[in-house]
């Protein structure tokens, strides 16, 4: 049964070749199955779920050798992950996640495309800056990598949180006519069309929410939404779309938060990896990203074609598409059900 499932995964790789020879393709398929079944990223845990006549130690050594010697073509990785996304314009989110393992600091800058309530990774960069923020060049280079693969016309929007500011970055987006919605820290000033320079406190002194078209913020002409929040904070959004749309557009950013949770505690415990080194960790992210995409697509298929996920009284689904798909894959790897194959087919 595992061989059949692996062969179906290999068929995906035949469309977008992550590896040229069959042996590599089989290894990638086996590793993905081991990751999906174990819900772990540690090599030993995955090796325990890879069927092989070799000893466990030999399987681990093979995994170590792959991560040491094999180089992914990340353009091909991006194209493969695009296969799991709906056709049409992409809603992108940019964010950063970090954690420490001993003295090694993992700092990932990532751009994802929204697929329902979760994001599918397209490109990422491991930053070597002591867990500091990304800079404008980091962001521009990362987004340009995606543009080089899919073109500007495929991008419908990019959303980012308060880290993702700076004139070089915002000018990059405006000059290429990429729709954007970014949140700014509350201490940034706004120059209105009449020339008045105001703080967010000034503009919201008597109102809960305000919208401004064509104002100057951080050296960029843009539209602005300002809103008081219940926790005494402010929502300060800028973008090149109508100001009254920015609040709804900013909600798209949540998909990358859901993805990071899925990478970590809710999915594959990525933070427990013992990998040290940006190059190897980036390769591991390829596997985790594909595993998330496979589980998500399986869950969507089951919901649409087999049985809808129940909606609880509070209005939310009992399980996410990702969790539904992941549980189904894991159960059927154990039960050896043949009908699982249909859900893997692209």
Give pLDDT, residue 334. Answer: 78
Instruction: Please state, in angstroms and rounded to a whole number, the distance separating the CA atoms of residues 326 and 92.
Output: 24
CA distances to 159, 180, 294, 319, 328 from 267, in Å: 24, 29, 13, 13, 14
Contacts 24+ apart (CB under 8 A), 103-110: 104/276, 104/277, 105/130, 105/131, 106/281, 107/131, 107/132, 108/281, 108/285, 109/134, 109/138, 109/139, 109/142, 110/256
Determine the 3-state secondary structure of 286 from DSSP.
helix
Instruction: Please state, in angstroms and rounded to a whole number, the distance separating the CA atoms of residues 165 and 163.
Output: 6
The number of beta carbons lying within 10 Å of the beta carbon of residue 132 is 12
Percent of the chain as helix, strand, coil, to the nearest 5: 45, 20, 30
The tokens for 224 are 């602005």
Gyration radius (Cα) of the chain, Å: 22
Q: Would you list the DSSP string of 84-148?
A: TS-SS-EEEEEEEEEEEETTEEEEEEEEEEEETTEEEEEEEEE--STT----HHHHHHHHHHHHH
Q: Which residue stretches of the chain have pLDDT < 50?
A: 337-338
How far does Cα 141 stand from its chain's mean position? Answer: 17
Give pLDDT, residue 337. Answer: 43
Give pLDDT, residue 316. Answer: 63
The one-character DSSP state at 312 is -
- The 10s digit of each residue's pLDDT in 20-70 is 888 899 999 999 999 999 999 999 999 999 988 899 999 999 999 999 999
- What element of type H or E holds 225? strand 220-228
Give pLDDT, residue 112. Answer: 98
Question: Cβ contacts of residue 1 below 8 Å, gap of 6+?
Answer: 333, 336, 337, 338, 340
Give pLDDT, residue 341. Answer: 53
Give pLDDT, residue 266. Answer: 85
Give pLDDT, residue 336. Answer: 58
Instruction: Please state, in angstroms and rounded to a whole number, the distance separating the CA atoms of residues 181 and 63.
Output: 41
Give pLDDT, residue 160. Answer: 97
> Can you tell me which residue has the tokens 């390829």?
286
**Phi then psi dihedrals of residue 59, to 5 deg:** -65, -45
Ordered alpha helix ranges (H), 214-320: 246-250, 254-263, 278-301
């Amino acid at each position: 049964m595992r061989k059949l499932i692996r062969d179906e995964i290999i068929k995906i790789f035949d469309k977008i070749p992550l590896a040229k020879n069959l042996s590599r393709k089989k290894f990638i398929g086996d590793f993905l199955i081991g990751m999906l079944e174990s819900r772990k990223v540690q090599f030993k845990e995955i090796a325990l779920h890879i069927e092989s006549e070799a000893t466990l130690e030999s399987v681990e050594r093979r995994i170590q050798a792959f991560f040491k010697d094999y180089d992914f073509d990340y353009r091909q990785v991006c194209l493969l992950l695009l296969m799991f996304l709906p056709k049409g314009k992409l809603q992108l989110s940019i964010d950063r996640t970090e954690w420490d393992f001993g003295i090694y600091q993992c700092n990932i800058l990532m751009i994802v495309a929204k697929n329902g309530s979760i994001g599918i990774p397209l490109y990422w960069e491991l930053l070597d800056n002591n867990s500091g923020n990304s800079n404008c060049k980091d962001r521009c280079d990362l987004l340009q990598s995606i543009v080089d693969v899919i073109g500007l016309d495929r991008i419908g929007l990019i959303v980012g949180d308060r880290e993702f500011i700076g004139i070089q970055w915002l000018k990059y987006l405006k000059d290429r006519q990429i729709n954007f919605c970014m949140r700014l820290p509350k201490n940034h000033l706004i120059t209105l069309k009449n020339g008045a320079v105001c703080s967010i406190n000034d503009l919201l002194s008597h109102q809960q929410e305000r919208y401004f078209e064509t104002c100057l913020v951080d050296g960029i002409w843009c539209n602005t939404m300002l809103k008081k929040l219940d926790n005494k904070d402010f929502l300060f959004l800028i973008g090149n779309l109508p100001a009254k749309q920015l609040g709804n557009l900013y909600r798209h950013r949540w998909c990358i938060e859901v993805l990071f949770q899925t990478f970590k505690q809710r999915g594959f415990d990525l933070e427990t990896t013992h990998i040290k080194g940006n190059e190897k960790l980036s390769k591991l992210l390829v596997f985790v990203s594909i595993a998330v995409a496979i589980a998500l697509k399986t869950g969507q298929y089951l919901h649409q074609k087999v049985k809808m996920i129940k909606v609880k009284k509070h209005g939310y689904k009992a399980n996410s598409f990702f969790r539904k798909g992941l549980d189904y894959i894991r159960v059927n790897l154990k039960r050896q059900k043949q009908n699982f194959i249909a859900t893997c087919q692209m």
